[in-house]
Structures are given as C-alpha cells and as structure tokens.
Structure 1
Amino acid sequence: MPRLTTGQKSAKKFKPFTHLSIQQSGNGIPPFPRRDTMKTRLMKPMGLTFMLIAGSISTAMAATSNDFVDNAAEGGITEVEAGKLALEKSSSADVKTFAQHMVTDHTKANQELMALAKKLDIEVPDDAALTDQAKKAILEMRDESFDKAYANNQVAAHEKTVELFKKEAASSDNPELKAFATKTLPTLEAHLKMAKELQTKYAH
C-alpha cells in the first residue's frame, strides 16, 4: 500500500459536517433552526420569552468586582426594558404599578452603579448594547397570559438578583461596591415580595 503524505493524512481525517442530525428539543423545535425558517417560527409564548430574560440575569455570580458590575448592570437594564414592556402590554393596574416601580428603581440603581464603576475605573458593559440585548430577548410576544408570565419572570429574576447582591454585600473586597450592594438590597427584596404577591394573584 502506498504511504500517505502528511497532507493526505490530514485530509483523510477531516470530515466536513455535512450530515449533522439535529435532535428535537423537548418542545419540538430544533435547537439550531435554519435561518430561512427562523423568521416564520414563533417562540413559545411568554414562558420561553421570559426565561430568556431571567436567564440573562442568571449568569455566574460575582467572583470579582468586574463580575458584579457586569451582572448587576445586565440585570438592571433588563428589568427596565421588561418593565417598559409591561407598561405597554398589561391592562392590569397592579401590574402597571409594579412595572413602574421597576423602571424607576432600576434606572436609579443603574445610574448609581455606572457612576461608581467609572469612579473605580471598572470597565462597564456598553449600555446601548445591553439595551438592545434585552429588547431582542422580549421581541417575540403574545398578549395572552402576559400578567402571569411577567409575574413569574419577576420572581425568578429578583431571586437571582437578590442572591447576587447578598453575596456582594457579604463578601466584596471593595468597600464602595459593598456599600452599594448593601444599600440596594432592601429595595430588591421589596421588589421580590411584590413580585411574589403578583405571582400568587395571577397563578391561574
């Protein structure tokens, strides 16, 4: 048998991925849909949409000051965008009141965090990019069961955010970020309590 050159051996080993089989996910949608079918396929209403929102907040908890700033900024901006959406979509007075609290409180906290990060010379995520990311996560929506989905999301999102801020308040090696987390934590815990009340009300 003729000996193969090094180049021929490499070519023989390389097999292009021309016949990948895509395993169906639990909801029947391939995890990697083709671009031409993606536009015609709606996401699972509300539940999947808000899982994306909550998921954006549930990244690794703060191990360093930079991690805390990144996660807190991402979560805060997402809360503002979700709140604005609720003000548009919901017809319930209590949901709108809660959503307005989210927009007001998280806008204020975001501004304080960005100013503090700048003072400490910590690189902050691009505000416009995070806003776009949050909007993309909530583009595909239906009006049905909005209040229930929003309430469920807010409980999940605030549980993770409270955990993030508790950890920073307890173990941060940066006194100013520690103080910010400690000061903001009661507001976040109040948000979580209100969200749980909404969740109970719109459970059915």
Structure 2
Amino acid sequence: MKTRHLLVSLASVSIVLAMPAFAAENAQDFVDKAAVGGRFEVDSSKIAQDKVTDQNVKEFAQKMIEDHNAANAKLESIAGEQKLQLPVDLDARHKSELQKLRDAAAPLDQPYVEMQRSAHADAVSLFEQYAKDGDNAPLKAFAQETLPTLKMHKEMIEKIATTSTDSSSAANSTTPAVKTTDTPSPSAPVPGANSFTEDQAKDRIQDAGYSNVSKLTKDDQGIWRGQASKDGKNTPIALDYQGNIVSGKN
C-alpha cells in the first residue's frame, strides 16, 4: 500500500513538472488567472494612456482596453453559467505592478511596454495550455477563440518594443546601437531601465531551462545578474530589460 501511494505521489510530481510555467490546473484556476490577467491589461492600459508619449503605444493601450474588456465580459458570462467564481481583486503581484505605474512619473512608455510583453507572454502560455488540455468544454472553446487575439497583441507589443529600442539606440550616441528582432539573441545584455522584479526575472530565467538560480542583483545598467545551472554546469547569468537572457558573461 505504501509503495502504491509513493508511485501515485511520484506520478503527480511528474505531471506538475511537465506543465508549462504559467498553466491552469483546472477550470477554476484558469478562470482565476485569466480574469486577473484580463483586468490587469485594462487597468494598466488606462493608467498608461495618460502617461505615455509614443502614439503607437497610446493606440496599443486603447486596443488593450477594448479587446480585453470584451474578453473579460465573455469570461464572466461563461464562468457564471459554469457556476465558477471570478476573483474579486487582483493578486499581489499585479497590484504591485499597477502601483508602480501609478507612482511613476511620465513618460511611462518603456515600463508599460515591458509589463505588456511579460503579461502577454504569460497570457499566451496560459491560453495555449488550456485550449489544448482544458477540463471544461465552454472555457476550452473560449481559450481557443481568444488565443489568436492574444497572439496578435503579443506580436504588436514585440514590434513596438523593437521599434522603440532601435529609436533609443539611434538617438543616444553614448549607448552602443543594438539591432533587435522579434526573437532577439544578443551576445551581451542590453542596458536600459528594467521593469522586471527579481521574482519575475528569476521566473523568466527558469522558464528558459536554467535551475538553481541564485539571488539576483540589478546593476547600474538595469541588468539582473546572478548564477544559474544548465546542462550540469554553473554559469553567470544576466537578464536585460528586453527579457533577453545571456549566460557566461559577468
């Protein structure tokens, strides 16, 4: 009997380890995460509208308000029909990020863009997983229908981030120009104001396949630095404001 319980426990651990970093365990968990993410998109974009200067960023923020309000309303309707509860408030992490936007002085273009890049990476991961393996048919259909829009948003914000990075590099003669693409892989981390928290930076590094991530320290160039293991080797690790991960460089 003990052996059976041990095998069941080990199987459960294997399932957890195999799941994506940002995934839903069941229908209620999906509703919780999708609702919080959707509200964060709307609330952060409302704050950004009055504190960003780039017209492309302003238009993106307006689109987030419209698209995510529509998706949030649909999710609320389905959740009600399925007797599932919507969270009454944002979680601590999203509240903290909203407060940073409220407290920060304009312009907020770069912090808002970086928050949106991270948020849409999480959203696409969540909806992809549930669209494939969801345990509730109406919610699974909702995830499948909403996923293309989230992917479009992700492409839009990545393009905006690339354009703004290229413009900043060209305008600042003291900063080496860095050519970025939709899938950037620079040989060195890119300096810039970094909106990732230490926990977010650590999660991103772990999602890239690293383990044993040490305490991270952000240097005066906005780069999170520390140590991590991969393929059995311990190496210096760095994460820049664009989310690029560079290993082997101090």
Distance 2:163 2:98 in 1: 27
132, 135, 141: which one pairs with 1:173?
135
- What is the distance in 2 between the residues matched to 1:155 and 1:124? 25
Out of 127, 130, 141, the position equivalent to 2:104 is 141
What value does the CA root-mean-square deviation take over the aligned residues? 2.1
Q: Confirm whether residue 104 of structure 1 aligns to residue 66 of structure 2.
A: yes
Match of 1:150 in 2: 112
Q: Is residue 130 from structure 1 mapped to residue 93 from structure 2 by the alignment?
A: no
What is the identity, as a one-letter code, of the residue corresponding to 1:175? A
> Whose helix proportion is higher, 1 or 2?
1
Within the candidate set 135, 139, 145, 1:183 is matched to: 145
Q: Compare CA radii of gyration and give the structure with the larger one.
A: 1
Of 46, 51, 54, which residue of structure 2 is paired with 1:92? Answer: 54
Aligned partner letter, 1:156? S
Q: Distance in 1 between matches of 2:28 and 2:101?
A: 26
- TM-score in terms of structure 1 length: 0.66
8 Å Cα contact 2:38-2:72 kept in structure 1 = yes
Query: What is the identity, as a one-letter code, of the residue corresponding to 1:143?
Result: A
Q: One-letter code of the match for 2:28?
A: N
Any unmatched runs of 5+ in structure 2? 1-20, 169-250
**TM-score normalized with structure 2 length:** 0.54
How far the C-alpha of 1:138 sits from its partner, in A, is 3.2
**Structure with greater strand percent:** 2
Letter in 2 for 1:174: N
| 113-122 or 129-138: bigger deviation | 129-138
Structure 2 distance, partners of 1:73, 1:147, is 24
User: What is the percentage of aligned positions where both structures have the same residue?
Assistant: 36
Distance (Å, rounded) in 2 between the aligned partners of 1:88 and 1:192: 22
Question: Structure 2: how far apart are the matches of 1:94 and 1:130?
Answer: 27
- The alpha carbon displacement at 1:130 in A equals 3.0
Q: Which residue of 1 aligns with 2:78?
A: 116
Within-5 A mapping of 1:57-68: 61-68=23-30
Higher mean displacement: 129-138 or 147-156 = 129-138
Deviation at 1:106, TM superposition (A): 0.4
More relative contact order, 1 or 2 (CA 8 Å, 6+ apart): 1
Deviation at 1:64, TM superposition (A): 0.6
Contact 1:83–1:99 under 8 Å retained in 2: yes
Task: Name 1:194's counterpart in structure 2.
Answer: 156
CA distance in 1, matches of 2:102, 2:53: 19
Q: Residue 82 of structure 1 aligns to a residue in which SS?
A: helix
Structure 1 alignment gaps of length 5 or more: 1-58
Does the CA contact (< 8 Å) of 1:147 and 1:202 recur in 2? no
Is the CA contact (8 Å cut-off) linking 1:151 and 1:202 kept in structure 2? no
| CA contact 2:49–2:61 (8 Å) conserved in 1 | yes
Distance 1:77 1:92, change over 3 A: same
| One-letter amino acid matched to 2:90 | L
